Amino acid sequence: MASIQHLPVELICSIAEFCRPAARSDGQRPMVYLACWVRTSRHFHDILNPLLYKWNFTIDHPLDSAVFWAASKGRLHTIKRAYEYGADLSENGSALHEPSLSTTPYPYIFHIATPLHYAIKHGYRDIFDFLIQVRVDPHVEAQDFCFCDEEPDAQYALHTALEHSKIEGAAEMLIRHLGAYMTSAETYALDDLGPGHDDLIILLVELPGPGPSAAALHYAINMGNTTLAARVLARPNLNASILGSDGQLALVRAVVLDDLPTTKLLLERPEVNVGMSDSIGLTALHCVAYTGSLPIAKLLLQCPKADAAALDEDRISALHCATQCGHLDIVKLLLQRPEVSVFSSDRFGMTPLHYAVRSRRPYTRAFTRRIKITATITATKSSELELQEESFEIIKLIFNRPNVSAATSTLYAESPLHTACRHGDLKVVKLLLERPEVDVRNANAKGQMPIHFAALSRFDGGSDVVQFLLKQPSVRLTDVDSDNRTVLHFLSATGHRCSIKPLIEAALQAGIGIDDYSTYGTAFHQAVERCQFENALTLLSYGANPMIPHQFSFNNSLLHLCVRLNASKKDKKNLQTKLVAELISRGVEIDTYTDCHFGTDEDWEPDNDDAIRNPDLRTVSDATPLFFAAATANNVDAMTLLLDAGADPTVSVYIREEVEEDLTGSSRQAFLAALFRHAWVPEDLTKEGLLEYKEAIVLLLRHGARLDHGGRTKSPLEEACRLAEHGFCDLLILLLGVSSAKNVKFRHVQNIILEYSSWPEHENIVHLLRDFVGQEFKEKKV
């Protein structure tokens, strides 16, 4: 009987086809069994190896392709063989139905990339040259192949050539021979290149083709190079309506940068439509309304397809933009258009009137997220205090339109009067109240009335608005919102530029109780929670009772809330200390713990009240007020008050954060060690950083804080020795210089000495510890 070797080639192939397993999706490699057959003889190798390559490329999962093994190992011969058998050398290993690595059947694969990526990153010049020769596609992404900007991204080969190449001139060759012009699916290379890449920039700018030309156009506009923009616009294959890396149209970008010549050139292009929008729905008219360029606005509105009523993804129109930015001339121009409506509302229900009232304060004019430039009016601390007259003229202009209502409300039932009161804008408040449809007692969705908003205003005019509203016959100070908060709660929750005593007296005379209780506690609770120390002290002087029970988030007490702010200004810190003294004297508990449950309370969110935004009270540690007075407030005077009142500096602190290796599996830490963890990053500690907390550390040690008691975490003394290992001995010297035998057990110091005695390079640590033992434990021997 003839052996299998003597069978016809066709029959051998049929047997192999019959034996070939079906495609697998579980990460197994079924072709390995046929490969064993192929390796039995040269005869079978010559017949079946081409079939194995073919099946490898067409049936196996892409990540099983011999191409990627060869690319990662630098095997040019295998890559050439695969190319001869029809392999696509441009693919990255992902299947069409698998949009990302998370859906592949290979959980152990951490990245995918094309052979071109591998060759560039690993320096396989022979493979790189071959891939250039066969003209692979450079615009195929690699997933999780690099971690630039601290986040994994899907990058093209040109990014790898620019940032991670071991092949000299790789980027130039990709551009020159393969036409590479993008570093990722959303980024033009021209937008990534900075100083020192002039040669590459020239190559990219001159690269032919629709895509490279669009990239060159956006680059020219961004650089303000009108001459280059005009030259690129003269190219016959250019599509000037392609979005740039920033998601903006070339026309939009030219308008944003106030580039009138380029704007004119773009509008001459047949494919450029002034009504086209970018990735977030902004048209050129939106942008000119933001920037306030009257010549460009007139030019755009002359275009036949100009739609001045177009809305972006937030339903914001050009009129919204112009009123928000206080551009009176643009508003006048837009209101001449029949399609423009002053009744148009955005997705929050805000009309141009709401925007105009809000724009009286310059700080509300920032739209950098939307148009990626600094707003035309930059808010500064001084300019925030100035009310803009142009915006007032816009408000009057809107009122002159027929059927305009000054009482229109947003989705949250907030009227323009609410906004004017919050901004302390007495002039606009008076103007609005002249309108018969405006009700001074109109409440928003949370039951908050204009006087509540005026009481919350942080501007100088807030008090004036409150005083003015108090003269209105229908205003009642006793009105509460849906959480039972009175005007007193709102007055107490915000820092005011002038004394609130007259307003508190007016509220009390009107019948508001100093201790009226709401969902968020009393007015005093609200003041302390918002760290308004002066307001809290004022309320105490009027008889507020701090002992009324209230459950703050995460079991914070009044003392916790008082010392969770690092008051950098001396006056603020003095008020903080004074309030701590008042709370202690009135019997507030000094040794309660917070209870953050950081790992189990991830769904908790701080209250997002539109008027009073209550803070997120979570911390990375649960501890007593004394700890936060040291670690967060760094207020030595407040610490002294707490210690004199009996606060215990030896209690443990409970860790509520994702901890480092040396803390893993433990939730407790010694008081001082936790203070070190909060105060600084150990490897970055400097003498100046230590000096900032030196007084607090000394005070705690003199009141008995422990250097041991590390438990499963490192003790304070061990932490100091670890820093000394790296050459920073100041903390160790400080601790040993202030401490005595009352702060640490001899056995703990002895164990550390024994540990470091085996390391000659740390002789200085041992010397310091032995000196301490000799001074504080004279009868002991190490």
Q: Tell me if the domain spanning 61-207 has CATH number 1.20.1250.20.
A: no
Provide the pLDDT for residue 143: 80
Q: Is the pLDDT of residue 49 over 80?
A: no
pLDDT on residue 62: 64
pLDDT value for 604: 44
For residues 456-462, average pLDDT? 87
Structure confidence by residue, pLDDT tens digits, 152-197:
467 899 999 998 899 999 999 999 999 999 998 888 999 888 888 8
Confidence of residue 387 (pLDDT cuts 50, 70, 90): confident
Mean of pLDDT values over 96-103: 44
Share of the chain above pLDDT 70, in %: 81
529 CB-near residues (< 8 Å, 6+ apart): 493, 520, 521, 552, 561, 614, 615, 617
Q: What 3-state class would DSSP assign to 75?
A: coil
- Average pLDDT for residues 42-55, to the nearest whole number? 68
* pLDDT attached to residue 32: 60
Buried b (16+ CB within 10 A) or exposed e, 227-237: ebbeebbebee
Q: Which residue has the higher pLDDT, 622 or 52?
A: 622
| Residue 599 predicted with pLDDT over 80 | no
pLDDT for residue 57 is more than 80 = no
- pLDDT reported for residue 97: 41
- Nearest to 595, CA basis, from 614, 619, 630: 619
Q: Taking residues 191-208, what's their average pLDDT?
A: 89
Give the per-residue pLDDT at 700: 97
Minimum mean pLDDT range among 89-98, 328-337, 495-504: 89-98
Q: CA–CA distance from 592 to each of 22, 536, 622, 626 (Å)? A: 67, 21, 10, 10
Q: Are 180 and 170 in contact (CB under 8 A)?
A: no
Banded pLDDT at 665 (limits 50, 70, 90): very low
- Give tens-digit pLDDT for 389-441: 999 999 999 999 999 999 999 999 999 999 999 999 999 999 999 999 999 99
> What percentage of the chain carries pLDDT values higher than 90?
61
User: Does pLDDT of 607 surpass 80?
Assistant: no
Token pair 């016809």 is at which residue?
Answer: 8
Beta carbons within 8 Å of 477's beta carbon, 6+ residues apart: 451, 470, 486, 487, 506, 507, 510, 511, 512
Q: How far apart are CA 637 and CA 645, in angstroms?
A: 12
pLDDT bin (cut points 50, 70, 90) of residue 365 is low
Mean pLDDT score, 608-636: 78
The closest alpha carbon to 736, from 762, 769, 714, 695, belongs to 769
- Mean pLDDT across 224-235: 93
Grouping H, G, I as helix, E, B as strand and the rest as coil, residue 562 is: helix
Average pLDDT over residues 698-716: 90
Least confident of 107-116, 377-386, 627-636, 741-750: 377-386
Q: Is the pLDDT of residue 567 over 90?
A: no
| pLDDT of amino acid 639 | 98
Residue 738 has pLDDT above 60, yes or no: yes
Question: Residue 100 — pLDDT band, cuts 50, 70, 90?
Answer: very low
pLDDT at residue 598, rounded to an integer? 45
Per DSSP, the residues of 359-410 read TTSGGGG--HHHHSS--SS---TTGGGSPPHHHHHHHHHHHTSTT--TT---
- What pLDDT does residue 336 have? 95
Determine the residue type at 120. I
What is the overall mean pLDDT for the chain?
85
User: Are the C-beta atoms of 57 and 87 separated by less than 8 Å?
Assistant: yes
The region, left, alpha or beta by phi > 0 then psi within -120 to 50, assigned to residue 438 is: beta
Give the model confidence (pLDDT) of 263-285 as tens digits: 999 999 999 999 898 888 889 99
685 vs 693: CA distance, rounded Å = 11
Stretch(es) of the chain classified as CATH 1.25.40.20: 61-207
Q: What mean pLDDT comes out for the span 520-539?
A: 94
Residue 129, pLDDT > 50, answer yes
pLDDT of residue 737: 95
Of 26-30, 584-588, 768-772, the one with minimum mean pLDDT is 26-30
pLDDT at 617: 59
Our CA angle for 776, 769, 623, nearest 5°, is 80
